[in-house]
Structure 1
Amino acid sequence: MKKNIRYSSAILSLCVLFALPSCKKDSSGGSVTPTVTTATPTKIGLYEADSSIYKLLFIAVPKIGTQTVNQYLIFDTGSGGMVIDAHEILPASMITSTGFNFTGDSTVVNGITITNQTSTIQYGADKSTLETVYGNLAYASVTVGDHGGSITVKRLPFFLYYKGTNSAGKMESTGTFDIFGVNSEYDVTFNNGAYITSPFSYFDPGTGLTKGFKMAALGTNNFSLNGTFVADVLTLGLTSSDLSSSSGFTMHTLSQYAGYGYSVTVPAGFTYGSKSVSSAYTVFDTGTEPYTYLEDKTAASTMTLLPTSTAVSITTTFNFNYSYSVSATENLTYVENPSSSGSNVSIISLEYFLNNEYMLDYTNHKLGLKYN
């Protein structure tokens, strides 16, 4: 709502009302022009961990509801929504192998609202790696980030799970599926129409900034067994410069699917060795490591690990190109036949993020990729 102000007392009220914009009086004494100050993007760090050929990224979640939890969740561009084990944040007496102990539509524990809306989420690159998580829709105020860079989302919908099983149906250990999914898809949609998606999409970055984040290239020097904290990997809130053609990002317009949000799976083609696949779907996924999975309808029924020195090139329909060479320990790549794997989506692993950049614009529904 905008209103013309003519008196000095009203000018003072306007300044208090808007708080951030400064106010100046027109030299004629008749009108007020608010000067809008663009907010500063928020920087958040990640923990970079590895063991042998395996690498993972973790993000700190120090507080959920009214309690300090100090949990570290896998940072995942391949899914959308925060997923956390109830055993880490609820009294043990509330949790069973078949659900949560409460009656009615919902209950509140330590500032966390647990609803009676139940569902499952499945993770995996193919049928052989498919894992299932069982839980409920929950809401809470959630703080994300530490070491001086953090945000708080006041009422975040998330998936609170009571058990998870692997592809053989065996129960997994506590916290195995603690995942912080940042893409714009819905990890799950519940019967009441509620859904979970990226916690960052609920964060208002401030005046003049677009909802979204960009991710700097990780490099390889900071990964360690215990996880090394690296500041400022993520920038929340995109500037007009970030979104301009001069930023170096190739922008991909995302497609919306009812009940699933805006998919970060982009159309692409790829080559590996002498083989070419002209039509494919590809996702760039920090949560998949150390293997990249390429889906080829002409491939053998048994998945094949590409030999060392095989050249691989992925080109999206928006003319972004990413190329690499397979080595004994880096860029390890499997080729699968979709009829055997159960998936037609090729997954580009965390290796992409070591030297290249990533950006997601939640407002305009676009994915940016930058090859360095």
Structure 2
Amino acid sequence: MGKTYLKYLPLVAGGVFLSILITSCKKDNSAPTPVSVTPAPLATLGLYEVDSGIYKRVFIPITKVGTQTVAYYSVFDTGSAGMTIDATGILPASMITSSGITVTGDSVTVNGITVTSKASMIAYGNAQSEIQEFGNLAYTTVTIGNQNGNITTSRIPIFLYYKIVDKLTGQKQPAHSNDVFGVGPGLSYANTAIGSPLSYFKSGTGATSGFKLSMFSNAAFSPNGTYVANLLTIGLVPADIGGLTSFVMHPRSNTSQWGYSPDIPATIRYNGQNVAATVLFDTGTPAISTIANSKATSNISSLPANTPVTITTGQGFTYNYTTSSTNNLTQVALPSYTGDPRTIFSIDFFIKNEFLMNYKAHEIGLKNN
């Protein structure tokens, strides 16, 4: 039915007009029926599982940056915070030089992206293997996902880099070879204005800011990449984080400078010894888990195949695995050698365990199956 506008209604006889007035003045004593809203996630997206020999990666599709439609794949990384992406193919080539991104004044806006003059560097890895990205703080909208399902962020801070270098060799790396989609709970080491892209989504009624990661499929990893649907759920519902959740929740501590830490206190047992550890569960580590042990007898050594390893967190989560020649590869290292005091478990952990990040309550949930 079309709209009816009062100014076009003809005047009516007094009796009818009076009955309308009387009816409109009656009070309705019945209570309004409450509207029930079932909390729901914002989106459920698929990811790509890729391998090359012992190395495994999980990528999230980036299909639009600002007004630019693109087709890039970023490493889905629970071990860092903030999105980094190469400026090549996103900014005009004339803006990208060997020494930086050209920005006149405090900022410049192009292709729906505001690039600031705040330049910095971010490094991934450790003292024995480090990749460095050089670029600028920028603000834009980003669409993640593909034709099977996608969602667009509000205008968020990202790190737009123009150069990527292997620190040990000094060699410049190919464009977009280290695009990172960091979903950790803290702030980016490139610029503390940058946090996880997923943390900026506004959850619906009854839902909570965060995400849930289903177990990766070991069989789906392939050299050409396999799209696996429904791996990433954006937005948490009460069943995910309430009293009936089967996740073991781990409250995170605020480091002040870098925000909330993704590292979890735990005990690692292997070869008959217990090692107190601060553990990072890291989808961004593609192959080899590293147990940091200040009492190790060598700088770094690999655990033999068929070595049992047990992880027990301070909150009671326990996970057991056994090393092999192709999966769950694990090494023991002196922190003084790697420059990193943390124990880092690789992407293999996520093949047997689910992972949850609650940005609002600053908690990480772990669940094994």
Normalised by the length of structure 1, the TM-score is 0.88
**Alignment partners' CA distance in 1, 2:317 and 2:285:** 21
Matched, 1:186 2:183: no
Matched, 1:37 2:34: no
Matched, 1:143 2:143: yes
Q: What CA deviation, in whole Å up to 9, does each residue of 1:225-270 have, x standing for no partner?
A: 1111111101111111111243211000000111211111011110
Alignment check: 8 A CA contact 1:201 1:212 kept:
yes
Deviation at 1:364, TM superposition (A): 0.5
Structure 1 match to 2:289 = 292
Equivalent position amino acid for 1:335 in 2: V
**Mapping 1:192-211, distance limit 5 Å:** 195-211=193-209
Please state whether the residue corresponding to 2:155 is helix, strand or coil: strand
**Mapping 1:74-153, distance limit 5 Å:** 74-124=75-125, 126-153=126-153
**Aligned CA distance change for structure 1 residues 116 and 30 (closer, same or farther; 3 Å):** farther
**Alignment partners' CA distance in 2, 1:92 and 1:269:** 50
Alignment check: 8 A CA contact 2:252 2:363 kept:
yes
Matched, 1:324 2:324: no
Please state whether the residue corresponding to 2:224 is helix, strand or coil: coil
**Alignment partners' CA distance in 1, 2:132 and 2:63:** 26
**Alignment partners' CA distance in 1, 2:103 and 2:178:** 23
Structure 2 match to 1:220 = 218
Gaps spanning 5+ residues in structure 1: where?
A: 1-26
Deviation at 1:304, TM superposition (A): 0.1
Alignment check: 8 A CA contact 2:122 2:190 kept:
no
Deviation at 1:367, TM superposition (A): 0.2
Alignment check: 8 A CA contact 2:290 2:330 kept:
yes
Please state whether the residue corresponding to 1:263 is helix, strand or coil: coil
Structure 1 match to 2:49 = 48
Structure 1 match to 2:334 = 337
Deviation at 1:64, TM superposition (A): 0.6
Deviation at 1:302, TM superposition (A): 2.1
Structure 2 match to 1:16 = none
More displaced 10-residue stretch of structure 1: 90-99 or 105-114: 90-99
**Alignment partners' CA distance in 1, 2:68 and 2:112:** 8
Gaps spanning 5+ residues in structure 2: where?
A: 1-26
**Mapping 1:135-284, distance limit 5 Å:** 135-168=135-168, 169-188=170-189, 190=191, 195-277=193-275, 279-284=276-281
Please state whether the residue corresponding to 2:152 is helix, strand or coil: strand
Equivalent position amino acid for 1:235 in 2: T
Please state whether the residue corresponding to 2:249 is helix, strand or coil: strand
Normalised by the length of structure 2, the TM-score is 0.89
More displaced 10-residue stretch of structure 1: 283-292 or 297-306: 297-306
Deviation at 1:34, TM superposition (A): 4.9
**Alignment partners' CA distance in 2, 1:204 and 1:326:** 41
**Alignment partners' CA distance in 2, 1:152 and 1:271:** 43
The count of residues paired between Structure 1 and Structure 2 equals: 341
**Alignment partners' CA distance in 2, 1:270 and 1:242:** 27
